[in-house]
Amino acid sequence: MSSTQPFLKGVVVLIPAFALGRAQELLLILDEYWSNHPDLHNIPIYYASPLAKRCMAVYQTYINSMNERIRNQFANSNAFDCKHISPLNSIENFNDVGPSVVMASLSGLQSGLSRELFEMWFSDKKNACVIPGYVVQGMLAKTIINEPKEVTLMNGLTAPLNMQVHYISFSAHADFAQTRKWRKPLGG
Protein backbone atom coordinates (compact mmCIF):
# COMPACT_ATOMS: atom_id res chain seq x y z
CA MET A 1 0.00 0.00 0.00
CA SER A 2 1.38 3.41 -0.89
CA SER A 3 1.57 6.28 1.61
CA THR A 4 -1.00 8.19 -0.40
CA GLN A 5 -3.63 5.46 -0.56
CA PRO A 6 -5.71 6.82 2.36
CA PHE A 7 -5.67 10.26 0.71
CA LEU A 8 -6.80 9.16 -2.75
CA LYS A 9 -10.45 9.78 -1.95
CA GLY A 10 -9.86 13.29 -0.62
CA VAL A 11 -9.60 12.37 3.04
CA VAL A 12 -8.98 15.18 5.49
CA VAL A 13 -7.17 14.39 8.74
CA LEU A 14 -7.70 16.68 11.72
CA ILE A 15 -5.18 16.53 14.57
CA PRO A 16 -6.33 18.62 17.55
CA ALA A 17 -3.22 19.45 19.58
CA PHE A 18 -1.80 21.81 22.16
CA ALA A 19 0.03 24.78 20.67
CA LEU A 20 3.24 24.12 22.60
CA GLY A 21 5.56 21.15 22.87
CA ARG A 22 3.53 18.27 21.47
CA ALA A 23 2.53 20.27 18.40
CA GLN A 24 6.15 20.99 17.49
CA GLU A 25 7.11 17.32 18.00
CA LEU A 26 4.23 16.17 15.82
CA LEU A 27 5.09 18.73 13.15
CA LEU A 28 8.68 17.46 13.06
CA ILE A 29 7.48 13.86 12.75
CA LEU A 30 5.01 14.72 9.97
CA ASP A 31 7.55 16.83 8.07
CA GLU A 32 10.18 14.08 8.26
CA TYR A 33 7.66 11.46 7.13
CA TRP A 34 6.55 13.62 4.19
CA SER A 35 10.21 14.24 3.28
CA ASN A 36 10.82 10.49 3.15
CA HIS A 37 7.69 9.78 1.08
CA PRO A 38 7.69 11.80 -2.16
CA ASP A 39 4.26 10.41 -3.06
CA LEU A 40 2.87 12.61 -0.25
CA HIS A 41 4.42 15.88 -1.41
CA ASN A 42 1.21 17.01 -3.14
CA ILE A 43 -0.83 16.54 0.07
CA PRO A 44 -0.56 19.65 2.24
CA ILE A 45 -0.04 19.75 5.99
CA TYR A 46 -1.25 22.82 7.85
CA TYR A 47 -1.00 23.92 11.44
CA ALA A 48 -3.79 26.19 12.57
CA SER A 49 -2.58 27.88 15.72
CA PRO A 50 -1.26 31.44 15.89
CA LEU A 51 0.57 30.54 19.11
CA ALA A 52 2.19 27.47 17.52
CA LYS A 53 3.37 29.68 14.66
CA ARG A 54 5.04 32.11 17.08
CA CYS A 55 6.54 29.20 19.02
CA MET A 56 8.09 27.73 15.87
CA ALA A 57 10.13 30.95 15.55
CA VAL A 58 11.38 30.47 19.13
CA TYR A 59 12.27 26.82 18.45
CA GLN A 60 14.13 27.88 15.29
CA THR A 61 16.06 30.51 17.24
CA TYR A 62 17.08 28.33 20.19
CA ILE A 63 18.16 25.21 18.30
CA ASN A 64 21.15 24.78 20.66
CA SER A 65 18.72 24.04 23.50
CA MET A 66 17.30 21.02 21.66
CA ASN A 67 18.27 17.37 21.92
CA GLU A 68 21.46 16.06 20.30
CA ARG A 69 19.70 14.71 17.18
CA ILE A 70 18.17 18.12 16.41
CA ARG A 71 21.46 19.93 17.09
CA ASN A 72 23.34 17.54 14.80
CA GLN A 73 20.74 17.95 12.07
CA PHE A 74 21.11 21.73 12.32
CA ALA A 75 24.52 21.40 10.61
CA ASN A 76 22.58 20.58 7.42
CA SER A 77 19.28 22.38 8.01
CA ASN A 78 17.06 23.80 10.72
CA ALA A 79 14.71 20.98 11.75
CA PHE A 80 12.04 23.51 12.63
CA ASP A 81 12.07 25.02 9.16
CA CYS A 82 9.46 22.52 8.01
CA LYS A 83 9.42 22.06 4.25
CA HIS A 84 6.02 20.39 3.98
CA ILE A 85 4.03 22.34 6.56
CA SER A 86 2.28 25.67 6.16
CA PRO A 87 0.52 27.87 8.71
CA LEU A 88 -3.25 28.26 8.50
CA ASN A 89 -4.34 31.49 10.15
CA SER A 90 -8.09 31.18 9.67
CA ILE A 91 -10.74 29.05 8.03
CA GLU A 92 -11.47 31.92 5.66
CA ASN A 93 -7.95 31.46 4.20
CA PHE A 94 -8.33 27.69 3.86
CA ASN A 95 -8.97 26.13 0.46
CA ASP A 96 -10.87 23.05 1.65
CA VAL A 97 -10.60 20.95 -1.49
CA GLY A 98 -8.75 17.70 -1.77
CA PRO A 99 -6.85 15.74 0.82
CA SER A 100 -4.93 17.42 3.63
CA VAL A 101 -3.70 17.09 7.19
CA VAL A 102 -4.53 19.91 9.58
CA MET A 103 -3.14 20.23 13.10
CA ALA A 104 -5.18 22.77 15.04
CA SER A 105 -5.60 23.99 18.58
CA LEU A 106 -7.39 23.58 20.95
CA SER A 107 -6.59 19.97 21.76
CA GLY A 108 -9.87 19.18 23.50
CA LEU A 109 -12.00 20.27 20.52
CA GLN A 110 -14.06 22.52 22.80
CA SER A 111 -13.50 25.69 20.78
CA GLY A 112 -11.06 27.38 18.43
CA LEU A 113 -10.02 26.38 14.94
CA SER A 114 -9.93 22.69 15.83
CA ARG A 115 -13.62 22.78 16.79
CA GLU A 116 -14.60 24.78 13.70
CA LEU A 117 -12.77 22.31 11.44
CA PHE A 118 -14.25 19.35 13.32
CA GLU A 119 -17.74 20.69 12.71
CA MET A 120 -16.96 21.09 9.01
CA TRP A 121 -15.67 17.51 8.64
CA PHE A 122 -17.27 15.23 11.28
CA SER A 123 -20.13 14.06 9.07
CA ASP A 124 -17.98 12.62 6.26
CA LYS A 125 -16.91 8.97 6.63
CA LYS A 126 -13.75 9.47 4.58
CA ASN A 127 -12.38 12.05 7.05
CA ALA A 128 -10.48 11.26 10.22
CA CYS A 129 -9.66 12.84 13.55
CA VAL A 130 -6.45 11.70 15.24
CA ILE A 131 -6.32 12.48 18.97
CA PRO A 132 -2.59 12.60 19.80
CA GLY A 133 -2.67 12.07 23.53
CA TYR A 134 -4.26 12.82 26.83
CA VAL A 135 -7.52 14.75 26.99
CA VAL A 136 -9.55 15.43 30.09
CA GLN A 137 -13.02 14.16 30.84
CA GLY A 138 -15.78 16.42 29.57
CA MET A 139 -13.94 17.52 26.44
CA LEU A 140 -15.34 16.65 23.01
CA ALA A 141 -12.02 14.97 22.11
CA LYS A 142 -12.44 12.61 25.09
CA THR A 143 -16.04 11.90 24.06
CA ILE A 144 -15.26 10.99 20.45
CA ILE A 145 -12.46 8.59 21.44
CA ASN A 146 -15.29 6.26 22.48
CA GLU A 147 -16.84 6.69 19.00
CA PRO A 148 -20.37 7.69 19.98
CA LYS A 149 -23.06 7.53 17.32
CA GLU A 150 -23.80 11.26 17.76
CA VAL A 151 -22.03 14.41 18.91
CA THR A 152 -23.37 17.67 20.26
CA LEU A 153 -22.51 20.60 18.02
CA MET A 154 -21.66 24.15 19.11
CA ASN A 155 -25.24 25.20 18.31
CA GLY A 156 -26.58 22.60 20.79
CA LEU A 157 -27.99 20.24 18.17
CA THR A 158 -26.86 16.62 17.90
CA ALA A 159 -25.70 14.99 14.68
CA PRO A 160 -24.25 11.62 13.65
CA LEU A 161 -20.47 11.25 14.03
CA ASN A 162 -19.34 9.66 10.78
CA MET A 163 -15.64 10.54 10.63
CA GLN A 164 -13.08 7.97 11.72
CA VAL A 165 -11.55 8.61 15.14
CA HIS A 166 -8.12 7.35 16.13
CA TYR A 167 -6.36 7.74 19.46
CA ILE A 168 -2.56 7.70 19.59
CA SER A 169 -0.92 7.86 23.00
CA PHE A 170 1.59 10.64 22.41
CA SER A 171 1.57 12.20 25.83
CA ALA A 172 3.50 12.45 29.05
CA HIS A 173 0.18 12.48 30.96
CA ALA A 174 -1.62 9.41 32.23
CA ASP A 175 -4.96 8.93 33.93
CA PHE A 176 -5.59 6.48 36.79
CA ALA A 177 -6.41 3.51 34.53
CA GLN A 178 -3.33 4.07 32.36
CA THR A 179 -1.06 4.39 35.40
CA ARG A 180 -2.53 1.24 36.98
CA LYS A 181 -2.02 -0.71 33.72
CA TRP A 182 1.59 0.52 33.54
CA ARG A 183 2.29 -0.42 37.18
CA LYS A 184 0.70 -3.89 37.02
CA PRO A 185 3.75 -5.67 35.46
CA LEU A 186 5.91 -3.99 38.10
CA GLY A 187 3.87 -5.61 40.86
CA GLY A 188 2.01 -2.40 41.68
For the stretch 22-38, pLDDT in tens is: 777 788 888 888 989 89
Any idea which residues carry the catalytic annotation?
173
Quote the percentage of the chain above a pLDDT of 70: 77
Residues 106/141, Cβ–Cβ less than 8 Å: no
Predicted TM-score (pTM) of the model is 0.77
**Dist CA 81 CA 67 (whole Å):** 16
pLDDT at 5: 56
Residues 17/130, Cβ–Cβ less than 8 Å: no
Helical H segments across 18-132, by residue range: 22-36, 50-61, 68-73, 112-121
**3-state secondary structure (DSSP) of residue 142:** helix
Rounded to 10 degrees, the C-alpha dihedral 130/135/141/142 comes to 110
Q: Is residue 151's pLDDT more than 90?
A: yes
